Structure 1
Amino acid sequence: MKKLMIIDGSSLLFRAFFALPPLKSALGTPTNAVYGFLTMLIKLYEEIHPDYIAVAFDKGRQTFRTEMYSEYKGNRPDAPEDLRPQFSLIQDVLKAMGICVIEEEGFEGDDILGSLSKKFASSELAVQIITGDRDNLQLVSDCSHVFLTKKGISDMLEITLENMQDLYGYGPDKVIQMKALMGDSSDNIPGVPGVGEKTAFKLISEYGDLESIYENIDTISGKKLKERLLENKELAFLSRDLATIKTDMDFSYELDDFVQQFHLSEVKPMFESLGFTKLTPRLAQIMGTDDGFEDMGGLFAVQEEVSLDELVDGTALTESFYEGKTIAVHVVLSGHAPFRSIVNIYLSNGDVVVKTDGSDIDLLTHVLNGAAIVVTTQAKELLEVLGTDAPADIRLFNDNGEARIHDVSLMAYLLDPTRTNYGYLYLTERFSVSSIATGSVDVECVSMVKALLAMNNAALDTIRSNDLWNLYNAIELPLIHTLLVMEKNGIYIDPDKLADTTVRFKTELELVQQEIYKIAGETFNINSPKQLGIILFEKMNLPVIKKTKTGYSTDAEVLDMLRNESPIVEKILQYRTIAKLVSTYLEGLAVLINPNTHRIHTTFNQMVTATGRLSSSEPNLQNIPVRTEKGREIRALFYPGEGFDTLVSADYSQIELRILAHLSGDKALIKAFTEGKDIHRFTAAEVLGKAQEEITSEERSHAKAINFGIIYGISDFGLSRDLGITRVEAKNYIDLYFSRYPRVKEYMDNMVKEAHETGKVRTMFGRLRELPDINSRNFNRRSFAERTAMNTPIQGTAADIIKLAMNKVESLLEEKGFTSRLLLQVHDELVLEVINDELEAVKALLKETMECVVDLQVPLIVDVHDAENWALVK
């Protein structure tokens, strides 16, 4: 059967942009999204072998849907500046490659996908839809399959009529019915407020569609639910219309229009101008036009044929294969953390590659424990999938306390923590290993697992020569186990209170919106910087603070400076705050709740931040505002789960200032902390020459601003803006501060000097941060690098200390057999759920362990509290 491959160009270009680090052509044109798109396209050629191909794009934001509902997709920010020019660039590239590119005024790319699929899919022609958008699942049919990107742009899941029900619990006909009820925050489709995925699924499963739900509204249980459905009936039907992909666009295209007309003579010069010369040979080979073409080598040119003769099945996992040897492991996974499963595992001892489906978990664990060293780029994933209710019991260390799990990606992160990706392609370049071969899944995986052994040798040499082995061995490797425990545990959230809070926040958002419209004298899209700029700076004549290439800037900094110019500014800031909380947290949390346990399982990212701090995603629980009332309302939704009685929070007090005192050795700061003084009141008294009891709350607040500002290299301009004082006053304050804490000034100057001389700085525990811009001729880049040199040793040391502490806490909880368990790490705070019988013992363990985990010149202080929800423990 022949195949028509239709690609959702806009969706995949977005994903490619965020999956790859910044790239630019020789002329400075951003190219990372285009490069990523093309690498994905090459892989699709190799896996799908299409006979016909078309790529669909959105054409502007105004479509028939915005005519139906003006706020459709109104919450979406503008595309990043470096992405915008790549939309036209990818179309130029695709056209040069002879690929049919389609965009239609008033329609979205999804409508093009749907209409092409409907027109051409048949028993003689299979349609393959490539997209990152689950909305397209409604297009699945006998003859149309959807290939959905699961991670970045390289991993795809084929959705068919046969597997969709098993994967999602419903078929393609129910996609728009679900959206009608639950809405879609990413597209700003309202749905029925307060109805989440679980409730929508229950209603659609029972009644079938929207019409049947309203025909049988009296039979629906739950007074609140029935009221919501009745009050928002129009919204529900509108939402279904908005979510429905159009399949009857009037096209003049015929199938022959989608035969690719590829001419190497047109493609080669364009790729050369963009710096894509490494892609050209592979593409030429695929297109069958590489006769006489010089192989340039590189990432996608197969430099050496990978033989699959050495690939054997899992029965080869005998003692002679692994005992005392270095084993490389590459895992192919499905699903999402922390509940992924193994598709295949590839293991190599340097002589032979073994492939197994991972069904015998005990055997695999035995093999990995029997090896002398296990090399991977997926240590965390490996321990996750080989475990069941907990991480696999694989020995992280040998009998001498040395790491026997070597994660090459983690080592690469420690060497250069500023990157966004530590995948195989980067690692081949970083550790000078031959390129990974492409082809079938087996060819690629065999190539990867063989390359790992060479990567490991290079990584070890580099890690040790940069004095980073102890950091890897003592902090980062044991942290993998701790993070997996927390991810598996998850944290309980009350779904009913979440739904009620969402309705309340959305109601308040609507009221604020109406107040903005009233002040402005007209309705407009508040989420549109362009429309907002016109209202503020043309209609209301507010002073223009800053302009961008596309118009007036309305960013947070600008609005903050305009607060006193008009009451509309405060309302806009309020609107943005509530809107972000609704979309990012309330609606975002609802779709991530485990329906059986009502727990949310965040993913802790070990290799993201440049300072060594952890981050979390899906959802990001670390950025829920803790000092605002609305942020606390969201934290109040989290409770101890079944079998537990209370939540406990253990939080380091002013850890960065204490680290500054230790690193600088400043006697006055050390004395203040040693004697348990209020450091901000103490600083105000020192700087102003007053007795501590005479310090006003405003003076203490100013001292607090400079105490923390000094850590981040604050300038007189920054301090004057933060405190609302003149730059002269701010400079005098800073000068006075340094006169009272002279060793702090000396320490900061030394850090900057060392950075200029060596190009890098380190934390107390050796964590490395290279600063390539420290000697830049560009003032802004150089200044930022200098501030980074001041801050990184302090913030990075704080990150190291909390990691050491959480590792020790988890180890003691396991060692002592506590039922109570660790759930979250949020900056300098640990959160646990605890049973009452263990409450006092756990609180004592936390305080003693965290305060004594490292020996500083000043005491570390930990505040430990317990309460019925997360908001109350702070």
Structure 2
Amino acid sequence: MKENIVIIDGSSLLYRAFYAIPHLSDAQGNPTNAVYGFLNMLLKLYSELDPQYVAVAFDKGKHTFRNDLYDGYKATRKPAPDDLRPQFALIREVLACLGIHVLEKEGYEGDDIIGTLARRTAADGYAVDVVTGDRDALQLVTDEVTVYLTKKGITNMLAVTPDVMAEEYGYTPAQVIDMKALMGDSADNIPGVPGVGEKTALKLITQFGSVHGVYEHLDEVKGKKLQEKLADNKDKAVLSKDLATIRCDVPLEYEMDDFRPQPREADVAELFRSLGFKNLLEKFAAFDRFSSLGQGHEETPLRLIEPLAPADLKDKTIAVTAVYEKTVPIPTLQHLAVAAADGAFAVPDDQLEAYLKALSTAKCLITDDAKQLSKVVSPYSKAHLPVEDIVLAAYLLDPARTSYGLTYISEAYDVTLHETGSDEAAQRLAADALFAFQVWPKLQKALEEAGLTKLYETIEVPLIHTLAVMEMNGFTVDTDKLMTMEGELSREADKLEEEIYDDAGETFNINSPKQLGVILFEKLKLPVIKKTKTGYSTDSSVLDALMDKHPMIPKILQFRALKKLISTYLEGLEPLISPETGRIYTSFNQMVTATGRLSSSDPNLQNIPIRTEQGRKIRSLFVPGQGYDYIVSGDYSQIELRLLAHLSQDPTMIDGFRKGQDIHRRTASEVFGIPLDEVTPEERSHAKAVNFGIIYGISDFGLARNISISRQKAKEYIDSYFKRYSTVHDYMNGLIAEAKKTGQTRTMFGRLRTLPEINSKNFTRRSFAERTAMNTPIQGSAADIIKLAMNAVQDELEKRQLKSQILVQVHDELVLEVPAAEKDEVEGLLKETMEHIVSLSVPLAVDIHSGTNWEEAK
């Protein structure tokens, strides 16, 4: 069997990978998506073709002999995108580490190198596979040379042989250049014969065999106009054929052993890890030729020890991992493992309760899910568990990730996972416990080096207990009222549906964008606002723009809103209500958002709309549970603007807050140059939009769209704002400048957010990073303050042994259920604690509300 060589069109494949793979970047913000896609393609080639030899050809320089033939050659081609250009150097570095030989030659294109190498190696008896995204390479196809042409991205390829050429394209490999000679190529600016397209070219070549044959039998070409075009442009056709012909005589010097991959294992491993390609490293290591890539990061054997008795856990530092079944209000512990310095063990299932009782006596519990552990221990101890959470630490160190599994932590902090040598879940759990014990010192050191230790110890770890308690508390739902409301809203939606059908003059699926588009834009002839790949867009922005064009439009929007409320919050909430307690138990996610804000899921209680009447009705379903009488809420007033005043130290803004003025009215007075008592509601509303927009780095375009004014007027507002609040302007610019220098930004409590794209050449990504640099210190600090307040309120409730309990946290609001006897005390406690949790240059203000349901308490 012949040995085979794979010759890769590096330039073509890197371009295709760039457009096929979404934006990726390494930790420094350097783009990596094209290289990532290219390597995935390479893995596929190793898997399917198993080549003994590999070569990658690149263009070198912009000027080749073709430019001497025709100075317009490739003259219209756009330069490579900013994020692609640096990846050409990067892929060369990666290929060098993988031991894959790169060929390039001044004055020639990569196609010519590919053609020359393909012809020579085929003549020497090798099987040749050419991999490219460029159909020009089809002229190289022979019985010995197969061209793999990429389709739909980079990993889906068509293997083109002479038979496939005839079946798929209808012409021979040699006729590829004849086709190009007649129809030209706009991508390379090859002129061809004007007015001759692919169909005409194929017809002519099929009839006459070649360009030479066409001109030998020009008088036999059907159509006088076509004859004239061909006759008038013979020189262009001849030139175009010359330009399209791949040269197979490039003076290349090589030995076949040059093309046998010889990877530099240590360099590959280091480079891939720095690029964030750890999953690719594992995939390459699966091939025999790269098997040594995984060395040095192999799993190490698990050290099993005899179980410590529950009493021996007292005052001991141990690691704990567990498997839980999701039950409410407390998860059910199914398996437990414990690790110490000398090894790990799985707790026998019949001794789980004894160990749970003993865990609170330990000096320190290192774990990977401290909140769940706190819940299962809570029946045996109400005290804060002495926990360290490795996943929480990993999140604080890199908050932009979407997951923090043990494999990621192992790779990021260079501590190996342990091989059990067994499929038993108990031993796997013990291995995880030992890993947690061993990785914690490295995470602890990383927190300290990143300046995150105080944030971790004073805010995030205490929050574990607070959230565990809140999740176990749950929130009571009035199920009778829920059923009644579901019926009412369903009838209202049905009535709207009938009215919409009457307006349309026919029935159709209102939820189908395609059917709705036909009704709106074809039948009713409403103006088309925008289109998508599948047809007319009927999203909310389009319907908003059409609001006054037809009476059906507001009905459709209202119908959609009702249907969402019914499906998400009525039908969606019902199965989540515990039949035993009548409560819903949400999960508060501490490690999801990059800003540090909490999120809520299953169900998301933070996302119930409060600006619509129907949304407020949903809140009215949440009521005090048995033994409680009131829902009490404490809501920070304009906390982000107060933080902006404090952090920027702007004297005008500080003065407004200290005097207790309406800050939006004060801003309107300053920006529009009018007395405070003459500010109109509309001017106040515009000033409010400016105030909050500034925090998020809003543009004049965004402000104009938000408050329906001209872009010029919006620019005047922003300019006037920064003129009156010049210190705010300086502060915001300073945040961006610091971020550009350090690649990161922080809250006033030290929370870190890295900004790898702050110096990107891509305007959109750089602008987003700049807005993030401005917003994170404010939004993130607000998140830190509400967390501090939650912890302090929970501690105070426990200290005073009050029955009242925290139920949910929604952005800047804390919601509690309170018995009548404690109402005054808890309202005072809530206001005092929240307003004095930190000391700022301006007072923190908290609005306290109460009622017999959540809607009334707002």
What TM-score do you get using the length of structure 1 for normalisation?
Answer: 0.64
Call closer, same or farther: CA 1:666–1:305 in 2, change over 3 Å: closer
User: Could you tell me how far apart the structure 2 residues matched to 1:30 and 1:597 are?
Assistant: 54
Q: Which residue of 1 aligns with 2:819?
A: 835
Call closer, same or farther: CA 1:536–1:760 in 2, change over 3 Å: farther
Q: CA RMSD in A?
A: 3.2
User: Could you tell me how far apart the structure 2 residues matched to 1:841 and 1:619 are?
Assistant: 31
Residue type of the partner of 1:424?
Answer: L
Q: Which residue of 1 aligns with 2:800?
A: 816
Q: Choose the corresponding residue for 1:384, options 355, 364, 375.
A: 375
Q: Choose the corresponding residue for 1:303, options 298, 302, 309.
A: 298
Call closer, same or farther: CA 1:747–1:392 in 2, change over 3 Å: same
Q: Which residue of 1 aligns with 2:557?
A: 573
Q: Choose the corresponding residue for 1:330, options 302, 321, 330.
A: 321
Residue type of the partner of 1:599?
Answer: R
Q: Counterparts in 2 of 1:408-807, with a 5 A limit? A: 408-435=390-417, 437=419, 440=423, 441-807=425-791
User: Could you tell me how far apart the structure 2 residues matched to 1:531 and 1:661 are?
Assistant: 51
Alpha carbons 1:412, 1:459 under 8 Å: kept: yes
Residue 450 of structure 1: CA displacement? 1.9
Alpha carbons 1:383, 1:392 under 8 Å: kept: no
Structure 1 residues without counterparts, runs of 5 or longer: 1-19, 36-87, 94-271, 285-289, 397-404
Alpha carbons 2:417, 2:432 under 8 Å: kept: no
Residue 805 of structure 1: CA displacement? 0.6
1:671-720 deviations in Å (ceiling 9; x for gaps):
11101101111111111111122111111111111111111111111111
1:373-400 deviations in Å (ceiling 9; x for gaps):
3211111111111222x8753543xxxx
Q: Which residue of 2 aligns with 1:156?
A: none
Residue 621 of structure 1: CA displacement? 0.6
Alpha carbons 1:644, 1:833 under 8 Å: kept: yes
Call closer, same or farther: CA 1:838–1:371 in 2, change over 3 Å: closer
Residue type of the partner of 1:514?
Answer: E
Q: Counterparts in 2 of 1:119-268, with a 5 A limit? A: none
Q: Which residue of 1 aligns with 2:347?
A: 356
Alpha carbons 1:330, 1:449 under 8 Å: kept: yes
Greater alpha carbon shift after TM alignment, 632-641 vs 345-354: 345-354
Alpha carbons 1:482, 1:806 under 8 Å: kept: yes
Residue type of the partner of 1:830?
Answer: L
Alpha carbons 1:636, 1:870 under 8 Å: kept: yes
Whether 2:359 is the aligned partner of 1:368: answer yes
Call closer, same or farther: CA 1:588–1:376 in 2, change over 3 Å: same
Call closer, same or farther: CA 1:275–1:408 in 2, change over 3 Å: closer
Aligned to 2:324, what secondary structure does the other structure show? strand
Alpha carbons 1:298, 1:435 under 8 Å: kept: no
1:12-48 deviations in Å (ceiling 9; x for gaps):
xxxxxxxx999978575999xxx9xxxxxxxxxxxxx
Residue 358 of structure 1: CA displacement? 6.0
Aligned to 1:806, what secondary structure does the other structure show? helix
Q: Which residue of 2 aligns with 1:14?
A: none
User: Could you tell me how far apart the structure 2 residues matched to 1:714 and 1:293 are?
Assistant: 53
Residue type of the partner of 1:562?
Answer: L
1:620-652 deviations in Å (ceiling 9; x for gaps):
111111121011100011111111111111111
User: Could you tell me how far apart the structure 1 residues matched to 2:797 and 2:384 are?
Assistant: 19
User: Could you tell me how far apart the structure 1 residues matched to 2:848 and 2:384 are?
Assistant: 33
Whether 2:336 is the aligned partner of 1:345: answer yes
Residue type of the partner of 2:494?
Answer: E
Call closer, same or farther: CA 1:820–1:359 in 2, change over 3 Å: farther
1:848-869 deviations in Å (ceiling 9; x for gaps):
1110110001001111111111
Greater alpha carbon shift after TM alignment, 416-425 vs 796-805: 416-425
Alpha carbons 1:317, 1:354 under 8 Å: kept: no
Aligned to 1:345, what secondary structure does the other structure show? strand
User: Could you tell me how far apart the structure 1 residues matched to 2:315 and 2:625 are?
Assistant: 43
Call closer, same or farther: CA 1:29–1:861 in 2, change over 3 Å: farther
Q: Which residue of 2 aligns with 1:117?
A: none
User: Could you tell me how far apart the structure 1 residues matched to 2:278 and 2:466 are?
Assistant: 42
Residue type of the partner of 1:431?
Answer: Y
1:266-297 deviations in Å (ceiling 9; x for gaps):
xxxxxx9x996566699x8xxxxx9x786466
Alpha carbons 1:611, 1:799 under 8 Å: kept: yes
Residue 752 of structure 1: CA displacement? 1.2
User: Could you tell me how far apart the structure 1 residues matched to 2:445 and 2:349 are?
Assistant: 32
Q: Counterparts in 2 of 1:23-172, with a 5 A limit? A: 26=35, 28=37
Alpha carbons 2:297, 2:416 under 8 Å: kept: no
Aligned to 1:330, what secondary structure does the other structure show? strand
Residue 329 of structure 1: CA displacement? 1.1
Alpha carbons 1:21, 1:420 under 8 Å: kept: no
Residue 765 of structure 1: CA displacement? 0.5
Q: Which residue of 2 aligns with 1:851?
A: 835
Structure 2 residues without counterparts, runs of 5 or longer: 1-23, 27-31, 45-151, 158-271
Alpha carbons 2:344, 2:431 under 8 Å: kept: no
Aligned to 1:588, what secondary structure does the other structure show? coil
1:516-542 deviations in Å (ceiling 9; x for gaps):
333333333333333333433444444
Alpha carbons 2:357, 2:381 under 8 Å: kept: no
User: Could you tell me how far apart the structure 2 residues matched to 1:605 and 1:845 are?
Assistant: 26
User: Could you tell me how far apart the structure 2 residues matched to 1:583 and 1:868 are?
Assistant: 25
Q: Which residue of 2 aligns with 1:120?
A: none
User: Could you tell me how far apart the structure 2 residues matched to 1:841 and 1:595 are?
Assistant: 32
Question: Highest CA radius of gyration, 1 or 2?
Answer: 2
Residue type of the partner of 1:603?
Answer: S
Alpha carbons 1:311, 1:352 under 8 Å: kept: yes
Aligned to 1:864, what secondary structure does the other structure show? strand
Residue type of the partner of 1:612?
Answer: G
Residue 422 of structure 1: CA displacement? 1.3
Aligned to 1:813, what secondary structure does the other structure show? helix
Aligned to 1:591, what secondary structure does the other structure show? helix
Call closer, same or farther: CA 1:383–1:30 in 2, change over 3 Å: farther
Alpha carbons 2:366, 2:440 under 8 Å: kept: yes
Alpha carbons 1:24, 1:30 under 8 Å: kept: no
Residue type of the partner of 1:344?
Answer: H
